[in-house]
């Protein structure tokens, strides 16, 4: 059993509970948020997707006591392109309450970071105020990946499709995913390697209208330079910002000009 198997086991139990909750209904987007796709497409700099992350299976407690609302306000003020809130309780010590609280105070695109395997979780994310959801290719078969992707789009949500290697990239392209992120952390082994981004970038169709994002293990401007050089439009950063005494400066140090934009 890998950690991903453990997590998906818990998610199947959570889905059963959510399906019994009659208050979760499919609805059109409640709060209008700007499009993440457009924000990333139009930017000349490497953008930051800043994550509210209390803990993780690989690191244990990162910043257990952090107030998500205060953290999100710092992120927004620093000009991040999107705020990600981990909502998994069992493994990441997040919650839907965190997401709801953040949704009330920020206007940025808002990503519900969880392990989605069923439509009811997408409805729940939207109800909580998310405008973007995550679909992890490694957690879904092709049929489910397509079905959940289409469902999210049909109710006005954007989707970040997470891949880890070239094979998963191909699967993301088959469903015509527009926003694709490479997780530098292997969810099976926890190993982090920015070379994942470089490897997948070699096969990424940049000439098409798609966005390429590098996720996890970004610590400083040298890391930002390295992934920006691959053509990435944004980095998804959790731990570095959660541990920083000055998250705003940490964000600024990552918002570097993209390759080819320097004149």
Ligand X SMILES: O=P(O)(O)OC[C@@H](O)[C@@H](O)c1c[nH]c2ccccc12
**Which residues are the active-site residues?**
51, 53, 113, 162, 183, 215-216
Does 87 contact ligand X by CB under 6 A? no
Q: Is 239 in the site for ligand X (CB under 6 A)?
A: yes
- CA-CA distance, 190 to 104, in Å (whole number)? 33
Q: Which of residues 130-189 bind ligand X (CB under 6 A)?
A: 136, 162, 183
β-pairing, 47-52 vs 234-237, is: parallel
Paired tokens of 34: 């700007």
Q: Select the residue interacting with ligand X from 217, 227, 234, 247 (CB under 6 A).
A: 217
37 Cα distance to chain centroid: 13
In sequence order, what E strands does the chain have?
47-52, 55-56, 60-61, 82-86, 110-113, 132-136, 158-163, 179-183, 211-215, 234-237
Q: Which of 47, 158, 168, 215 binds ligand X (CB under 6 A)?
A: 215
Contacts with ligand X: how many residues (CB under 6 A)? Answer: 15
Closest approach, Cβ 256 to ligand X, in A, equals 17
Question: What six digits make up the tokens of 17?
Answer: 């509970």
Residue with tokens 């209390």: 54
For the chain, give the number of residues.
Answer: 263
54 binds ligand X (CB under 6 A): no
Name the residue nearer to ligand X (CB basis): 113 or 210: 113
**47 interacts with ligand X by CB under 6 A:** no
**Binding site residues, ligand X, CB under 6 A:** 51, 53, 113, 136, 162, 183, 215-218, 236-240
């Amino acid at each position: 059993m890998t950690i991903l198997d453990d997590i998906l086991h818990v998610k199947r139990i959570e889905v059963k509970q959510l399906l019994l909750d009659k208050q979760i209904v499919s609805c059109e987007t409640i709060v209008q948020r700007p499009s993440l796709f457009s924000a990333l497409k139009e930017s000349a700099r490497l953008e930051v997707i800043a994550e509210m992350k209390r803990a993780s299976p690989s690191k244990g407690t990162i910043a257990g006591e952090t107030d998500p609302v205060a953290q999100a306000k710092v992120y927004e003020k620093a000009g991040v392109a999107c705020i990600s809130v981990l909502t998994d309780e069992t493994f990441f010590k997040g919650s839907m309450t965190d997401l709801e609280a953040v949704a009330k105070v920020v206007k940025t695109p808002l990503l519900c970071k969880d392990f989605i395997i069923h439509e009811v979780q997408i409805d729940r994310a939207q109800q909580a105020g998310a405008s973007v959801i995550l679909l992890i290719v490694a957690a879904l078969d092709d049929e489910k990946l397509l079905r959940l992707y289409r469902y999210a789009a049909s109710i006005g949500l954007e989707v970040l499709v997470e891949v880890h290697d070239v094979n998963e990239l191909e699967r993301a392209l088959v469903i015509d995913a527009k926003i694709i992120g490479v997780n530098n952390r292997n969810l099976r082994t926890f190993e982090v390697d920015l070379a994942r981004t470089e490897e997948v970038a070699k096969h990424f169709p940049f000439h098409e209208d798609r966005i390429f994002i590098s996720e996890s293990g970004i610590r400083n401007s040298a890391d930002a330079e390295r992934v920006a050089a691959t053509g990435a439009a944004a980095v998804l950063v959790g731990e570095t910002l959660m541990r920083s005494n000055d998250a705003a400066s940490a964000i600024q140090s990552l918002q570097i000009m993209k390759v080819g934009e320097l004149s």
